[in-house]
Amino acid sequence: MLEQWVIIAANSAERPWSGSMATPIKSTQPEHDPGCYLCPGVTRATGSENPDYQGAYAFDNDFPTLAANAPDVNDASDPLFITNSAKGKCRVLCWSEKHNATLASINEQQMIDAANLWRNEYITLSADPTIAQVLIFENKGVEIGVSNLHPHGQIYATNFVTENATRMRSSFAQYTLKNKAPLLQTMLSSEPVQQQLMVEQCNHWSVIVPFAARFSYETWIIPHRAITSIAEASEEEIAELALCYQRQVRRYDALFERSAPNITLLHNAPCDNHEHNQHWGFHIAFHPPLRDASKMKFLAGFEAGSSNIVNPLMPETAAQRLRQLAQAG
């Protein structure tokens, strides 16, 4: 979907390792941390006080990367020095009032509430005519530089369509217009995915390892019905997605023997009225930074210099390991 090659180099995983070892970090966080700006009742840096919230709760980021009222700096008069205004809204989504919770530990109803928050935030933000894309994501774990361990995700709603979304939209449209079938659902029903790459199949969603996985244990959650965004998911589909998502997060915790670090992305269609948005396939992608319980994956020389990722694990092997965890419950 990104139209980039991935190098699968399964033998490189056997190479003697002298790189960074990621020691499992056992969390001993308190249930409430008065020094945490995401906990209920805490006064944030801007002086606003968090309400005594329970469960999923969203608010504007106090230190947004993108602001709606950023100055206009649009200037393309010199091709060497083109500038454009990046504007938008940044939101913070708390999954729980408990500082030491995670999406793996909260109860079923709280998980469904979190999924409904994703849906409601997307609906609200995508209706804003100044917003072109709504990217909902979670950065989790000190391993990837997250400073606040309170369970939370974020939203960047931008006045432009991001680089990856532009590539993906083009791929979705090209495939669908040529084959008269949705890309993700056609891929999902294909033999390689069904036989080799499936992790868990539910009624409305499946968890798979993508064919050209860029991270060793990358997985996608794909709807069985072609939808462009989470806004189109029914109440029943949202509830199943939430629990399917939670099981996958728990599998990562089991696989990596800790509350596992992850980057999770909700890939909703851009909302800029582009004619190709209708071909977009909503899905969720997990990009775990760990290669196994003790090894971090870094994008080093070749990858940083080429943008071609080297995955040291066969996607089929990753799927098999995750499937075994799924069967173990």
Q: Which residues are catalytic?
A: 152
- Can residue 39 be called a binding residue for Zn ion (CB under 5 A)? yes
- Can residue 38 be called a binding residue for Zn ion (CB under 5 A)? yes
Give residues with Cβ within 8 angstroms of 146, minimum separation 6.
139, 140, 261
DSSP per position, 143-154: GGT----SSEEE
Nearest approach, Cβ of residue 153 and Zn ion (Å): 14
- Can residue 313 be called a binding residue for Zn ion (CB under 5 A)? no
- Can residue 36 be called a binding residue for Zn ion (CB under 5 A)? yes
Distances (CA, A) of 157 to 92, 162, 232, 277: 12, 10, 19, 16
> Within 10 A of 258 (CB to CB), how many other CB atoms are there?
19
Give residues with Cβ within 8 angstroms of 122, minimum separation 6.
134, 136, 229, 230, 231, 266, 268
CA-nearest of 202, 189, 215, 218 to 284 is: 218
Nearest approach, Cβ of residue 38 and Zn ion (Å): 5
Residue ranges in the chain assigned as alpha helix (H): 108-126, 163-179, 183-188, 191-192, 235-256, 301-306, 315-328
119 vs 150, which CB is nearer to Zn ion?
150
Nearest approach, Cβ of residue 93 and Zn ion (Å): 13
Angle at 309 between CA 272 and CA 206, to 5 degrees: 60
Amino acid identity for residue 258 in this structure: R
- Can residue 247 be called a binding residue for Zn ion (CB under 5 A)? no
87 vs 150, which CB is nearer to Zn ion?
150
38 vs 208, which CB is nearer to Zn ion?
38
150 vs 291, which CB is nearer to Zn ion?
150
How many Cα atoms within 13 Å fall on the side-chain side of residue 261? Answer: 23
Nearest approach, Cβ of residue 99 and Zn ion (Å): 3
Nearest approach, Cβ of residue 63 and Zn ion (Å): 16
CA-nearest of 212, 182, 209, 221 to 324 is: 209
Nearest approach, Cβ of residue 51 and Zn ion (Å): 14
Nearest approach, Cβ of residue 253 and Zn ion (Å): 20
Mark 280-309 with x for binding to Zn ion (rule: CB under 5 A) and - for no binding: ------------------------------
Q: Which two structure tokens, joined as six digits, stand for 115?
A: 């999924």
**Stretch binding Zn ion (CB under 5 A), from 14-22, 39-47, 131-139, 163-171:** 39-47
Within residues 89-128, the interface with Zn ion by CB under 5 A covers 99
Task: Give CA–CA dist 110/96, Å, rounded.
Answer: 8
150 vs 267, which CB is nearer to Zn ion?
150
**Stretch binding Zn ion (CB under 5 A), from 38-46, 82-90, 231-239, 256-264:** 38-46
101 vs 318, which CB is nearer to Zn ion?
101
Task: Give CA–CA dist 35/23, Å, rounded.
Answer: 26
Name the residue number minimizing CB distance to Zn ion.
Answer: 36
87 vs 99, which CB is nearer to Zn ion?
99
Q: Which two structure tokens, joined as six digits, stand for 195?
A: 């036989």
- CB distance 80 to 9 below 8 Å: no
* Residues in touch with Zn ion (CB under 5 A): 33, 36, 38-39, 99, 150
